[in-house]
Structure formats: structure tokens, C-alpha cells
Structure 1
Amino acid sequence: MDEVKQIVTEIKNGNIKPIYFLMGEEPYYIDRISEYIDKNVLAEEEKGFNQMILYGRDVTIEDIVANAKRFPMMAERQVVIVKEAQDLSRTIEKLADYTENPQPSTVLVICYKYKKIDKRKKLYKAVNKSGVIFESKKLYENQVADWIRRVLGGAKYAIEPKAAQMLVEFLGTDLNKINNELDKLKLIIPKGEQITADQIEENIGISKEFNNFELRKAIGSRNVIKAHRIINYFAQNPKDNPLVVTISLLYSFFSQVLQYHGLSDKSQRNVAGALKINPYFVKDYTEAAHNYPMKKVSQIIAILREADLKSKGVGAANLPQGDILKELLVKVMR
């Protein structure tokens, strides 16, 4: 995120490079940088003759180079944006000759999503010398809630830790999806307010009571009744609560509980740093560690692996999701 801000700041200050090669697994930042260049490098009246959008599936490297070598008309520079450039992965190295000597009056933006170019090859070295290479890395799940807080903070909003966690568990690590939902919330909720779990439930349709976060908490606190209630809800709504996601999140939780057991310093600050969690949630791990000794946690991790195999049909062909969940819960909490 800091690197994105630096790129945008340099463009604002007039330090515009002839090439921006935007690559990597996370498309969100690639889209944001290319959109910023699209909207801000040229004045509106200059765009008709001097801004071109190309798509990787429709062009060749030769087409891109030919467009990049054109001179601007009645403007200081032109902008050429190549979207979905990963469709040119087999021939992308051919761009190296142009990037060694780029047209100074052209801003060429290559959006190379879900892939990376080889740092050892000529293209990477040439772009790195004459322009900007930005690698957009996928966030780990434990980083996304913090990302949500920072994005909302920049827009003068706050969000409850539970509300942020609900978004992560419902939407995963897809930043574009999350950002779309945040945009909806910002239309409804006045700037300066804190977004709550109730507002997430009301406006996005995520149940604040029946979700993986609450299941994890119920199991950690050995609240058998609540855990069974959530499991039954999941069994009745399997499409909205995929078994594979539930098992994955429980596996992650108990792996962290196991890690907690191994810590010599169990202060809130140290636990939050070691487990890479918000300090607000440390009490959940402390309670789970109290309720499940290290030996039991190791057994639970093995139980979760077994349930994962069953969910994929190994040793339990056609067993309903609800039955696997109920069996899992009995084994974990007994």
C-alpha cells in the first residue's frame, strides 16, 4: 500500500515514467494504479487523440509498440494502457527492445494480472531501469482485516474488529470484492462513524450470529449449545456456508492456539504480534488455550484434516455437509 501511495504521489508531482509494468497475484492495486493514470495524467480534452486502451487478447506486442511509438497530438504526452496483458505471456519478452529505449512522450501502462515476469530476463531489467515495476502481492487472510481498517481510515471511517472479521470470513481475500462492499457501506453510513457488525448484517447480508467467526468463538469457549446452533444453521444453508471454508478457518484457528501454547510470553502485545492478530481477539485465544491443552489441540488438528478429506469424498462418499460438521463438532468438543 505504501508503494502504491509513492507511485501516485510521484505522478501527482509530475514525475511520470514512460513505462509502468503492473504485475502480480492481487489485481486490486493493479486496477487502482492504472485507473489513476487513466483519469489523471491527461486533461479531459487531451484524451480523445492521446489516450488508448488496448486488451491483451486483441493485440500483439508489435501492435503495442506501434501505438507506443506514436507522437502525441496537441499534448505533451500520450497514454497507452494495456489491460489483461497476461494474455500475452508467451510473447511478453518481445517488449524488451522497446522498454530499453521507450518513447519519452508516451506513458505505457502494462496490466499483467495474476502473473509475474522473470526478474532474470531482459524485459524486467529494462523496465526496472527506464520505468516502474510494481508487484501486487496477494494479502494473507490475517492481513486483510487490517487492510480494511486502513482503507476505511483513509476515508474517515472506523470499523469494529468483529465487523472487519465478518467481512474477511464472508468475502475472503478478494480485495476488489471487499472494496465494492465498503463502497456500498460508505453510501449509507455517514462519514466519521464506526461501521458495526449490525450494519454489516443489515446491509451486506452476513449473519452476525451464524458465521464462522462466531462458530470459532463458541468452540473456543466450549459453548456447546451455541456451536450446535451455528452448525445446524450451516447445514440448512450449505451454499452460503461452504464446508471447506469452515474447516479451513477452524484449522487456522487451532494452529494459532497451538502456537499460543508454545509462547513463553503470553502478554496481549506479544500474543497479538506472534499470532498476527488484532489485540482485540487475544482473549479468544487465551480462553481456547485454557479449554484445550496442547495435546488436545494436536488431536483437533488431526480431526480437522480427517473432516477435510471426508468433505472431498475420501472415506465418506456422499456424506452430507451437515453430518460431517456435526461429527466434527462432537469429536472436537468431547
Structure 2
Amino acid sequence: MTFEDILKSLKKKEYAPVYFLMGEESFFIDQITDYIIENALNESDKDFNQTILYGKDTDIGTIVTTARRFPMMAEKQLVVVREAQNIKNIDQLLSYIQNPLHSTILVINYKYKSLDKRKSFTKEVAKNGILFESKKIYENQVPDWIKNYTSKQGYQIDSKACFLLAEFLGNDLGKITNAIDKLTINTTETKTISPGDIEKNIGISKDFNNFELQNALGKKDVFRANQIINYFAANEKNNPMVVTIALLHSYFSKVLKYYFIKNKTNDKMVASTLQINPYFVKDYKLAAKNYNPKKLVSIIALLREYDLKSKGIGDVSTKHGDLLKELIFKILH
């Protein structure tokens, strides 16, 4: 089942006897678990029928014993096992999973890794309960995810503001939702989150950031690019070179890839191939006009070279700000 499917069934009060929630993305695991904790039992039933266990402090025997208890003056009891990835031999729960008590809702949080779905344990979970794998979303999916989440909070977010958040926070959905929640609290008049709101409340400069640097380089705007890298050099702590290089490497690799797309007139196809938002296709087309394939290959090689230098390989003395200035000069000339 998908995350949306699980929430849909929970809202209908359709509870499975077992939820095994595993995977790298903790956000979806927490969302499902929190919803069950908040809604599965009446407040008056929670004192005697809700148990929270932690992987470091419990074992298989305790989980099974707790799960096999009958609820006290209620239809259901809830047992949540947090940090279950810290329990050795989690598959020893197999006997319980094969014959779960239907008056118990057992929720197991197995974060940051996944079990082999081919094994009998996971097959039995899927057969008798809900097996959910929470995967990290791809970075190119983050802007759309931000827009959808913001919309559900009753707000809109400017495209540039959306990409500023995506660039700054990556695909960590926990950090993203915390940032959006903070923005919605402090943006009450217009109901639209702007780059200015992000600069004011999150601390990301709306004018001097990797997104703006990428735009300046794509347009071959030497003056603007130099403005930005001088700002980066003066604020190295908030603008780590390793992040800038990684983003530029991804950007110029996509510009190079653009040359090999057969149907360049179909923006949707271009966006799908490059794994970018269709809104930004025009920027990649402009960059492709400004950099031929030979130059792009040279730029990608430069980025690899300066990535090593930034890590002290081949250059242990030059400051990151100065290395970045050298790199941008060579990209533009």
C-alpha cells in the first residue's frame, strides 16, 4: 500500500493488526504512526491500552507479551515499537505476525533501512498486516512535493521560493515540513510564500544562492555570477563549496544531456528526460546556446578537479572562496 492508501484506510477507522513501517524516509513513518496514536483510541482508553516501546530498551519477548494482552474495557489496544531497527533478530516476531491478536494494533517503526521483501517474515507481514516501505523521494521531485504540501496547509509558494527551499534542504522531508510550517505561521497576510519570506524566516538569501548562481552561469552573466561568488566567499560557512560544486555538476551534466535529446521542441519530453520542472526548460535551452558540448565536458572536468581541491587533494592552502572564484572564472571564459 502507498502512504496515501494507508492514511485513507486509517481515516475510515480500518485498522490492521500489524503495521511494519520501514525505510530510509522517516517522515512518512512518523506521519502514519502519529496518526494512529492520535486517532486509534479514545483519550479515555489510552491510559490502560496504549503502550510505547523503544528498540534500545525492549526485546522480542516483551513485544510479544505486550501485544498478546487483551484490551482493558476497550475494543482495541495500541502497541507502538519505535526505533525497532535497534532490535536484533526482528524476524523472531514471525510467530506473532503469523497469528496476530486482532484486538491489538501493533505498529513497528523500522527506520533508515528495509528488510528483504523476499523473506518469509516480510511476506507474512504483508499477508497479515500492512508492510510499508518509506523511500526517499528523488531530488527532482522535491519542488512539486513542496508545492503540494504547502497547498494542503492552505498556502501557495512562489516557484523561486520553492526551489530555494529544495536547494537548501535537499530531500529531507522532515526539515522541509518544519520550514514550511514556520513560514505559514509567519506569512499570514498574502497566503503566498515568497523568496523574501524565506530569506526573512529561514535565513536563505533570496539574491545570493546556488539557484541564482546557476541562472547567472546559464545566461553567462559575468557580473551577476561574480557578485554571488564574492558573497559566497565572504560567507563560506553558510555557502559550503562542496554543495555548490555538487549542484553545478548536476546542472551542467543536464545541459550536456540536453544536446542528445531528439525532440527538443517538446518541453514536457525535455523536462522528463532532464528530470526538471517544465518551468525551467527555457533556462536549460538558453544555457545550451551559451555552452557547446566541448565546453560542457571541460566544465564538468573542472568541477571534478575543484571538488578534489576543496577536499585538500592537490591544493591544501587556497581558501574555498578563492578556489570558487577561480572555478567560476574558468567556467565563464
* TM-score, length of structure 1 as denominator length: 0.96
| Aligned residue in 2 for 1:145 | 143
Equivalent-residue separation in structure 2 for 1:165 and 1:278 (angstroms): 10
Which of 163, 166, 174 lines up with 2:164 in the alignment? 166
Q: Is the 8 A contact 1:238 1:321 kept in 2?
A: yes
Equivalent-residue separation in structure 1 for 2:86 and 2:235 (angstroms): 38
Equivalent-residue separation in structure 2 for 1:196 and 1:208 (angstroms): 9
Cα RMSD, aligned residues only: 1.3
Equivalent-residue separation in structure 1 for 2:57 and 2:316 (angstroms): 45
Q: Is the 8 A contact 2:179 2:202 kept in 1?
A: yes
Q: Is the 8 A contact 2:140 2:277 kept in 1?
A: no
1:264-322 Cα shifts (integer Å, max 9, x gaps): 21232222222121222112111110100111111111111111111111111232111
Structure 1 position 191, deviation (Å)? 8.3
Say which SS state the counterpart of residue 110 (structure 1) adopts: strand
Say which SS state the counterpart of residue 48 (structure 1) adopts: helix
| Aligned residue in 2 for 1:46 | 45
| Aligned residue in 2 for 1:274 | 273
Matching of residue 309 in structure 1 with residue 304 in structure 2: no
Which of 219, 222, 225 lines up with 1:224 in the alignment? 222
Q: Is the 8 A contact 1:156 1:192 kept in 2?
A: no
Structure 1 position 120, deviation (Å)? 2.1
Equivalent-residue separation in structure 2 for 1:191 and 1:271 (angstroms): 37
Say which SS state the counterpart of residue 171 (structure 2) adopts: coil
Task: Give the number of equivalent residue pairs.
Answer: 332
Say which SS state the counterpart of residue 106 (structure 2) adopts: strand
Say which SS state the counterpart of residue 236 (structure 2) adopts: coil
What letter matches 1:170 in structure 2? F
Which of 96, 110, 119 lines up with 1:112 in the alignment? 110
Distance 1:100 1:153, change over 3 A: same
Matching of residue 181 in structure 1 with residue 179 in structure 2: yes
Equivalent-residue separation in structure 1 for 2:116 and 2:190 (angstroms): 44
Task: List runs of 5+ in structure 1 lacking aligned partners.
Answer: none
Equivalent-residue separation in structure 2 for 1:331 and 1:97 (angstroms): 64
Say which SS state the counterpart of residue 218 (structure 1) adopts: helix
Equivalent-residue separation in structure 2 for 1:158 and 1:302 (angstroms): 39
Structure 1 position 95, deviation (Å)? 1.1
Most deviating of 310-319 and 183-192: 183-192
Equivalent-residue separation in structure 2 for 1:124 and 1:145 (angstroms): 33
Say which SS state the counterpart of residue 80 (structure 2) adopts: strand
What letter matches 2:294 in structure 1? K
Give the % identical residues.
Answer: 53
What letter matches 1:241 in structure 2? N
Equivalent-residue separation in structure 2 for 1:95 and 1:230 (angstroms): 56
Equivalent-residue separation in structure 1 for 2:190 and 2:59 (angstroms): 48
* 1:1-334 equivalences in 2 (<5 Å): 3-88=2-87, 90-190=88-188, 193-267=191-265, 268-334=267-333
What letter matches 2:96 in structure 1? Y
Structure 1 position 156, deviation (Å)? 2.3
What letter matches 2:82 in structure 1? K
Equivalent-residue separation in structure 1 for 2:239 and 2:53 (angstroms): 39
Equivalent-residue separation in structure 2 for 1:194 and 1:81 (angstroms): 38
Q: Is the 8 A contact 1:25 1:115 kept in 2?
A: yes
Equivalent-residue separation in structure 1 for 2:189 and 2:148 (angstroms): 15
Say which SS state the counterpart of residue 78 (structure 2) adopts: strand
Equivalent-residue separation in structure 1 for 2:154 and 2:275 (angstroms): 25
Most deviating of 294-303 and 260-269: 260-269
* TM-score, length of structure 2 as denominator length: 0.97
Q: Is the 8 A contact 1:157 1:191 kept in 2?
A: no
Task: List runs of 5+ in structure 2 lacking aligned partners.
Answer: none
Structure 1 position 192, deviation (Å)? 7.4
Say which SS state the counterpart of residue 317 (structure 2) adopts: coil
Distance 1:314 1:154, change over 3 A: same
